[in-house]
């Protein structure tokens, strides 16, 4: 039986944040055996693959995105045998496995960094980005950390500053050094040999910096897709020199060459740049770059209304690019406000199951590979946390203006049993983040018994989608509706046409001779919308 090497085109990929999925050990934190135990549930959704957020060994200052050993499982989540069992269970259910690889930086507790900081002439002395202080002792330039403050941290061992694009405990690797590239590619190979089907490449825009170390210029208000926000000084710079350098293309070709050694594997890059859509196109153009990239185009803008233009503008922009491969889209992930809260509040839809259903149908009808974040299939809203419950260092830094990323990371709820954290844990224990009051009553077991639930709609829609090649791999053509609350497009593939109409309003509307219910969607197979 031949394997479809392009299985990822149009795939629905389910993101799992391990510490918040299912706690099998009873310590309040989710783990790999907990995920494996839910494989029947995951398979019932009809998804094609799992994206597993970091589980490698880490001091967890940034919850796994600060790796201290690329080739081992953190004991918090289990061990390598637990990972192998998870991959085997997924494959037995016909589900691919994609894992996060954080190649732009490591924890400052990684043995590589420990050796690098000891002197300026040891074998790993240039595995990280080191630079002398200015004459007055200040940092080498004005580059800023995404998480606040300078992107440089002074280290007394070497008497130099090291670069960290994120936390001070997340030191940037010097990927200009071919030995460092070889080392991280060897780590990728380690997981490919264990059977993973692909990688989500975290923070790939930060792989390379400009060797001149020039100051970044100030950003103009509303430069590109960045909105100047005095809450976050990082957005006050045009990031011309600290990331997104041309050296990345040759490195991505090395990654693709490695992937091509393994049958039917894929890569998805996380792009964070001033024009993320154009960058996504460049990083996926041709057969020697990444398979696909996704970005925050449909995941940002907490005050942005959901209108037809919200969806249509980025998709049409991408489709019109001279250089562009296969796209990828998501409404949610572990870093952003949950979509039913982000878009639903404006239309009284945050707690409306029909709104959540419509969003599932909309996302999985777009042209591209799509990502569903755990809990999205239940229609879960953003959790609201007290300051004392916050764990996210970014949220703690920006509080009270923003609570950070913890609101989308609270534990999944599986049952109505409050004694076991609503099924998240094996027994009574304090979870690493509190269960949200907003989620109670929306657990998987309750929704499983309700034929009209968001969960059962998701299952039914994704199964129906598998029978419609046009929704999986077809092209897309948008149609004018004359209303900012009606979105219409046609997906077409090998003679099949699917007409798709979505109503973003809280009242029924008519279009093209069809009545679309409030927060509803209409699909008509083998009929193309008139231009």
By annotation, the residues acting in catalysis are 202, 261
Residue 199's H or E segment, with its range, is strand 198-201
Q: How far apart are CA 530 and CA 523, in angstroms?
A: 14
CB atoms within 10 A of CB 503: 25
Give the whole-angstrom CA distance, residue 468 versus residue 173.
Answer: 44
Distance, CA of 278 to CA of 275 (rounded, Å): 6
In angstroms, how far is CA 348 from the centroid of its own chain? 26
* Whole-Å CA distances, 323 to 5, 179, 288, 310, 379: 22, 31, 13, 22, 35
CA 193 to chain CA centroid, nearest Å: 24
E strands of 30-184, at which residues?
Answer: 49-52, 56-57, 69-73, 96-101, 105-107, 130-131, 152-155, 160-163, 170-172
HSE, side-chain direction, 13 A CA sphere, residue 306: 29
Residue 321: phi and psi, rounded to 5, are: -65, 145
DSSP helix/strand/coil, 396 = helix
The answer to whether the beta carbons of residues 55 and 74 sit under 8 Å apart is yes
Question: What would you report as the CA-atom Rg of the chain, rounded to the nearest whole angstrom?
Answer: 23
Cα–Cα dist 390/407, whole Å: 9
Q: How far apart are CA 284 and CA 326, in angstroms?
A: 7
The β-bridge partners of 161 are 131, 154
C-alpha span between 144 and 242 (Å, rounded) = 9
The residue with tokens 């709609």 is 457
CB 171 within 8 A of CB 180: no
How long a stretch of residues is the chain?
531
d(CA 171, CA 475): 42
Cβ atoms < 10 Å from Cβ of 531 = 8
Structure tokens given for 2: 């031949």
CA 393 to chain centre: 18
How far apart, in Å, do the first and last CA atoms of the chain sit? 42
User: Checking phi first, is residue 345 left (phi over 0); if not, alpha (psi -120 to 50) or beta?
Assistant: alpha
- Compute the distance between CA of residue 436 and CA of residue 10 in angstroms, rounded to an integer: 33
């Amino acid at each position: 039986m031949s394997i479809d090497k392009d299985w990822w085109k149009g795939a629905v990929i389910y993101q799992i944040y391990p510490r918040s999925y299912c706690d099998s050990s009873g310590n309040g934190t989710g783990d790999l055996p907990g995920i494996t135990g839910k494989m029947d549930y995951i398979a019932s959704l009809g998804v094609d693959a799992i994206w597993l957020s970091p589980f490698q060994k880490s001091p967890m200052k940034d919850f796994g995105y600060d790796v201290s050993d690329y080739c081992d499982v953190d004991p918090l989540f289990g061990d390598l045998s637990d990972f192998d069992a998870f991959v085997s269970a997924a494959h037995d259910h016909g589900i691919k496995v994609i894992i996060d690889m954080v190649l732009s930086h490591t924890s400052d507790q990684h043995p590589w960094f420990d050796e690098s900081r000891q002197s300026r002439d040891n074998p790993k002395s240039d595995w990280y980005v080191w630079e002398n202080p200015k004459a007055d002792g200040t940092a080498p330039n004005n580059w800023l950390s995404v998480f606040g403050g300078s992107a440089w941290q002074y280290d007394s061992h070497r008497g130099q500053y090291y670069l960290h694009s994120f936390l001070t405990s997340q030191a940037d690797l010097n990927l200009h050094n071919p030995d460092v590239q070889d080392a991280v590619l060897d780590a990728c190979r380690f997981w490919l040999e264990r059977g993973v089907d692909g990688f989500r490449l975290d923070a790939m825009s930060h792989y390379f910096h400009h060797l001149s170390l020039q100051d970044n210029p100030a950003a103009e208000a509303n430069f590109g897709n960045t909105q100047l926000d005095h809450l976050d000084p990082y957005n006050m710079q045009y990031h011309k020199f600290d990331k997104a350098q041309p050296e990345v293309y040759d490195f991505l070709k090395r990654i693709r060459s490695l992937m091509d050694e393994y049958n039917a594997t894929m890569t998805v890059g996380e792009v964070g740049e001033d024009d993320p859509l154009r960058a996504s196109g460049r990083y996926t153009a041709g057969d020697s770059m990444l398979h696909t990239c996704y970005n925050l185009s449909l995941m940002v803008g907490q005050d942005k209304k959901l209108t037809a233009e919200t969806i249509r503008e980025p998709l049409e922009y991408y489709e019109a690019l001279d250089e562009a491969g296969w796209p990828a889209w998501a409404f949610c992930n572990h870093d952003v406000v949950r979509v039913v809260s982000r878009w639903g509040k404006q239309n009284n839809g945050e707690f409306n199951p029909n709104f959540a259903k419509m969003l599932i149908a909309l996302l999985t009808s777009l042209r591209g590979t799509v990502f569903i974040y755990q809990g999205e299939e239940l229609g879960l809203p953003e959790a609201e946390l007290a300051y004392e419950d916050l764990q996210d260092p970014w949220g703690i830094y920006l509080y009270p203006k923003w609570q950070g990323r913890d609101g989308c990371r609270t534990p999944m709820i599986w049952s109505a049993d409050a004694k076991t954290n609503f099924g998240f844990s094996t027994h009574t224990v304090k979870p690493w983040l509190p269960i949200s009051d907003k989620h109670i009553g929306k657990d998987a077991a309750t929704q499983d018994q309700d034929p009209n639930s968001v969960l059962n709609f998701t299952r039914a829609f994704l199964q129906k989608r598998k029978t419609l090649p046009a929704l999986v791999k077809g092209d897309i053509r948008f149609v004018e509706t004359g209303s900012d609350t009606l979105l219409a497009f046609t997906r077409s593939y090998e003679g099949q046409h699917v007409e798709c109409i979505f109503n973003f309003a809280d009242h029924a509307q008519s279009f093209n001779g069809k009545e679309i219910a409030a927060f509803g969607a209409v699909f008509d197979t083998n009929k193309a919308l008139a231009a």
